[in-house]
Amino acid sequence: MDQAADSYSTSTPPLFLLGSLALAVSLLVLLGHGRGKTRLPPGPPALLFLAKFAALRRSIFDLGPMIVDLHARHGPVISIHLFRTLIFVADRKVAHRALVQGGATFAERPPAVDPTRLFTSGGRDISSSPYGTYWRLLRRNLVTEALSPARVAHFADARRSACDGLVSSLLKEQERQGQEEAVTLRPLLRRAMFELLVFMCFGARLDREALDEVEELLHQALLSFTSFPVFAFFPAVTKRLFRRRWAGYLALRRRQEKVLVPLIHAERAGDDPPCYADSLLAVRMADDVRLTDSEMVSLCSEFINGGTDTTVTLLEWIMAELVNRPDVQAKVYEEVRANPELSDLQGMPYLKAVVMEGLRLHPPGHFLLPHGVQHSGDGDVEIGGYTVPKGAEVNFLVAKIGRDETVWTAAREFRPERFLEGAEGHGVDITGSREIKMMPFGAGRRMCPGYSLGMHHAEYFVARMVRDLEWRPPVEGEAVDMVEKLDFTTVIKHPLRARLFART
C-alpha cells in the first residue's frame, strides 16, 4: 500500500483519497459550517470541484485557469472549499479596500502546512510567519540591512560582473552553436541571477560545484511548495501513506542545513559589502535571544528563492517581447547607448517603462502568497460584501487585475509607451497605496519587501543585455510563442530562444 501510494504521481494524490476528503468537506458544509448562516462568496460545491481537479490531475498551482473560469461564472469574489475555505478576488477596488484600507485585517498568513512548515522551520521565515512582532523584526531587518538603497549600491560591482559573465556566456554559446542557431536564455540568466543573490546573501563567491549544489537544494524545496499539499489533509495519516515522500523531504531539509549553516557562519573578507547572513547573525529578539541556525537557513533560502525566479521570469518575458518587437528594442538601445556606463538608470524613462509594462502584462506571480484574516472579537470580516469565515485563505488575481480592459487601453498588448509622461500609466503607484491599477508585488502590509531590488535588477539586466547584444528571433520574421505555463512563477511555456549578435 505504502509503495503503491508512493509510486503514484508526485503531484497528484490518489483519486480515492480526494474522494473521501471531498466527502468529509461536503459533510462539514452540510452540518452547518458553510453557506446558509452567513453570506459566503459564491463558488462550486466542494465535491464537484475536487472531482474536476483530480480528473485533470493537476498540481495545486494549476488551479489558476480553473479559478479564472469560476470568476467568469460567479463574479469578482468567489470561494472554494478544500482543506480550508479559499476566497479569490479579481477586482482591483475590492483588493485595495482589503489590503490597503483594511490595515492589518488581511495581513495574516494561514498556518503553514507540511512540507512548507518543514522548509520554513515551522513558519519562521518572513513570508510564512504570522503577522506580529517576529515578522515585523525580520521584515525590518531585511529592508534596512539588505535592501536599503545604500546597501544595494554596495553591490554595483557584483551586478556588473554578473552581467559581464552572462553576456560572455551567451556569446560563447552562440559561437559554439553557430550563428544560424538560437541560444536559450533561461539557464544562463538564472545562473547569473542566482550567483548574484547568493553573493548578496552569504558574501561569498562559490565555485561552480558548490553553486550547483546550493541551487539544486533550494530548487528541490521550491518544487515541494508547488506540489499538491497532500499533508494538509489528516497529516498523521497522509505522512504514513506517503511515507517515502515525507522521508525524502526530511532528508532534503537535513542536507540543506548541512550545506547552508557553514556558509552563514563563514568568515567574510573585510572589504566585501555586508551580506544578509551577517545581518541575521546580529538579530536579537526579546531577552537577547538569537535566531537559530535552522531559522537562518530558512530566511537565507527565502532571500535567494524570492529574488531569483521572480526576476528571471520577468526578464525572460521582457526579452521575449523585445525579440518580437525590434522597434521597442531599438528604442531601449538608443537610450542605453547615450549612457553606456548605466550609472543613471533613473534618467532612462523608456527602459523603466519597458520594465513596468513587463510587470503589468507578465507579472511573475499570477496570485499573491495566500493571505489569512485577523478576526478581532466577534465581529464578522467582510470582503466585497461577502462574509469571510474564520480560518479562510484569501488570494488575489494579480494578472487579471493588471490586464483589466476598463483601466488599460489594449490591455493585452505590450505597449511601454503607456508609462511615459502624459500617458495613462505615467506615475502609476506600483505599491498600490493610493489605488490599485496593477499589483505585481502585492499591496499593503505584506507587499513584497524586495520590490525595488527586483525592479532595479530587471532594469539593469535588460539594459546590459540590450546594450551588448542584438536579439533576433530564431527564424527571421517568425514571432516568439508567448504561451504561458504555470510553474512556481508563470513562465513562458517554450523557454525563449534567440539569435544573438554582439553590438560593436
481 grid coordinates: 510563442
DSSP category for residue 100: I
CA torsion 417-419-424-429 (nearest 10°) is 170
Between 151 and 499, whose beta carbon lies closer to ligand HEM?
A: 151
Which range in 29-37, 303-311, 341-349, 402-410 contacts ligand HEM by CB under 6 A?
A: 303-311
Question: What is the distance between the alpha carbons of residues 17 and 353, in angstroms, rounded to a whole number?
Answer: 49
**Residue 62 φ then ψ, to 5°:** -85, 10
- In whole angstroms, the minimum distance from the beta carbon of 266 to ligand HEM comes to 20
Among 68, 259, 283, 369, binds ligand HEM (CB under 6 A): 369
Among 446, 464, 467, 499, binds ligand HEM (CB under 6 A): 446
Per-residue interface string for the shown chain with ligand HEM, residues 129-158, x marking contact by CB under 6 A: ----------x-------------------
Beta strands of 3-139 (E only): which ranges?
77-81, 85-89
Q: Which residue is nearest to ligand HEM (CB)?
A: 450
Question: Is there binding between residue 229 and ligand HEM (CB under 6 A)?
Answer: no
Among 190, 209, 301, smallest CA distance to 253 is for 301
Question: Is there binding between residue 126 and ligand HEM (CB under 6 A)?
Answer: yes
Residues from 98 through 117 that contact ligand HEM (CB under 6 A): none
Count of residues in the chain: 504
Which range in 51-59, 176-184, 212-220, 445-453 contacts ligand HEM by CB under 6 A?
A: 445-453
DSSP category for residue 470: E
Question: What is the distance between the alpha carbons of residues 235 and 233, in angstroms, rounded to a whole number?
Answer: 6
Is 448 one of the annotated binding-site residues? yes
Question: What is the distance between the alpha carbons of residues 232 and 113, in angstroms, rounded to a whole number?
Answer: 6
Among 365, 389, 402, 432, binds ligand HEM (CB under 6 A): 365
Among 215, 257, 302, 393, binds ligand HEM (CB under 6 A): 302
Question: Is there binding between residue 303 and ligand HEM (CB under 6 A)?
Answer: yes
- In degrees, rounded to 5, the angle at the alpha carbon of residue 448 between the alpha carbons of residues 441 and 494 is 50
Question: What is the distance between the alpha carbons of residues 181 and 184, in angstroms, rounded to a whole number?
Answer: 10
**Residue 443 φ then ψ, to 5°:** -160, 160
Question: What is the distance between the alpha carbons of residues 263 and 256, in angstroms, rounded to a whole number?
Answer: 11
Among 13, 442, 461, 467, binds ligand HEM (CB under 6 A): 442
Between 13 and 365, whose beta carbon lies closer to ligand HEM?
A: 365
Which range in 71-79, 287-295, 306-314, 480-488 contacts ligand HEM by CB under 6 A?
A: 306-314
- Phi-psi category of residue 32: left, alpha or beta, with phi > 0 → left and psi -120 to 50 → alpha: left
Question: What is the distance between the alpha carbons of residues 483 and 491, in angstroms, rounded to a whole number?
Answer: 9
Between 233 and 317, whose beta carbon lies closer to ligand HEM?
A: 317
Among 322, 450, 471, 490, binds ligand HEM (CB under 6 A): 450
Question: What is the distance between the alpha carbons of residues 378 and 274, in angstroms, rounded to a whole number?
Answer: 47
- In whole angstroms, the minimum distance from the beta carbon of 116 to ligand HEM comes to 13
Question: Is there binding between residue 203 and ligand HEM (CB under 6 A)?
Answer: no
- Residues lying near ligand HEM in the complex (CB under 6 A): 126-127, 139, 302-303, 306-307, 310-311, 314, 364-365, 368-369, 440-442, 446-450, 453-454, 458
Residues annotated within a binding site: 448
List binding-site positions for heme: 448
